[in-house]
Amino acid sequence: MRILLFFLLSFFIASCSDSQNQTIKKAVSNYNKFFKEPRSSKFTVFKIDTVPDIKKGTNEKSSYFIKQRLEQLIGKSYKNICSENGITYPPKYILFRLFKEEKEFEIWAAHKRSDTLKLLATLPVCAVDDEAGTKLQQGDGKTPEGFYTCKIMYGSSNAFMWIKLNTGEINNYGSVGYGSSFKMCIDYPTAIDRNRTREILGKANPGGAICLHGNCITAGCVSFENKNFLPVFLSARYHNSNTYGYPQIHIFPFRFSEKDKTKMSEKINSEMTPKQLVEFWSELEKVYNLFEKSRKAVKITFTNNKYIFSGF
């Protein structure tokens, strides 16, 4: 059933236009019957304030408007959460971590990169490839695992990239041209991803266009309920990209402290052998453990298909 739903979603997403919104909404509804956003008391709730509806004639597509509108909607709550966690507001250094199997997304923040980072929020992911195992080729529906940066992007011809930023409409499914379009896309595939695909699948296309967005729909992307995507995007806007580059995102198959890599490698479907998976995950686990111990930003590069990491 999951594979069938994935291919249906892939088809709809690839051919998406405004006139197909009702079809896609039905696909999303069917998908979410099986893959729902996790519920837990650990998740952080950003309160959405009631603000006047957007005035007619406003340029809702501009980056300036989107940032200011998000601050109006969740700025007070965001500031309070920073205060509760001893984080300077607004934070100037942001690090994201995603745990696929748990469908948990963390926002870590500090005033500057050299500071000890603090956990600002843990948010549920509504739709993602939540089976361990990294992306290897275009069309496999997988979410990459590894270390990437997130670039902010605007505009889209796909309905699931649009959110109407009125208090009462935020959680409505998107419609092309109605409201604001904003997302973050990761720099997959990197050279190390391309090399891995080449070694395992030869000339296969590793794919791309992996983004973080709202509207709870995915074919490899990381998608949130709209209310939970707002603080993710606003955090990226607060991050000082001019000084530190784009925000980092660490994507892990699961929380290593809670899972046995060997057992996990033997129970999933992947083009990688269990041995290859364990070796790959062991590389990711090194960074996971370093950050768990230090809570410091990690400098990550790679050579000869191995990650090289150190403190800044």
User: What's the pLDDT tens digit per position in 190-247?
Assistant: 999 999 999 999 999 999 999 999 999 988 899 999 999 999 999 999 999 999 999 9
Q: What is the mean pLDDT of the chain?
A: 89
pTM for this entry? 0.89
- What is the chain's length? 312
Prior bond of 189 cis (ω within 30°): yes
Pairing between strand 180-186 and 146-154? Answer: antiparallel
Q: In sequence order, what E strands does the chain have?
A: 93-99, 104-110, 118-124, 146-154, 162-163, 180-186, 211-213, 222-223, 248-252, 298-303, 306-311
Q: Exposed, middle or buried, 282 (CB in 10 Å: 0-12/13-18/19+)?
A: exposed
pLDDT of residue 37: 64
Residues with Cβ within 8 Å of 271's Cβ and at least 6 positions away in sequence, in order, are: 136, 137, 200, 201
At residue 218, the pLDDT reads 86
Residue 190 near residue 302 (C-beta atoms within 8 A): yes
List % helix, strand, coil for the chain (3-state, nearest 5): 35, 20, 45
Q: Which residues lie closer than 8 Å to 121 by C-beta, 6 or more apart?
A: 44, 46, 81, 106, 107, 231
Burial (CB count <10 Å: 0-12, 13-18, 19+), residue 178:
middle
Query: Which residues touch 14 (CB under 8 Å, ≥6 apart)?
Result: none
Q: Is residue 94 predicted with pLDDT exceeding 70? A: yes
Give tens-digit pLDDT for 59-80: 999 999 999 999 999 999 999 9
Q: Residue 33: its pLDDT value, please?
A: 38
Residue 32 has pLDDT above 90, yes or no: no
Q: Quote the pLDDT of residue 214.
A: 97
DSSP 178: B
pLDDT at 312: 78
Confidence of residue 253 (pLDDT cuts 50, 70, 90): very high
- Do the beta carbons of residue 233 and residue 184 sit within 8 Å? yes
Euclidean distance between CA atoms 303 and 257, whole angstroms: 26
pLDDT tens-digit readout, 146-188:
999 999 999 999 999 999 999 999 999 999 999 999 999 999 9
pLDDT on residue 226: 98
DSSP letter assigned to residue 177: T
What pLDDT was estimated at residue 304?
Answer: 75
Q: Is the pLDDT of residue 47 over 50?
A: yes
Q: What is the pLDDT of residues 261-279, one digit of tens each?
A: 999 999 998 999 999 999 9
Per DSSP, the residues of 27-78 read HHHHHHHHSPPP--TTS--PPPP--PPPPTT--TTSHHHHHHHHHHHHHHHH
Q: What is the pLDDT of residues 5-26, one digit of tens each?
A: 443 444 444 434 333 344 444 4
Asked whether the predicted pLDDT for residue 189 surpasses 70, the reply is: yes
Structural domains in the chain, sorted by start: 2-311 (2.40.440.10)
pLDDT digit string (tens) for 114-128? 999 999 999 999 999
Does pLDDT of 34 surpass 70? no
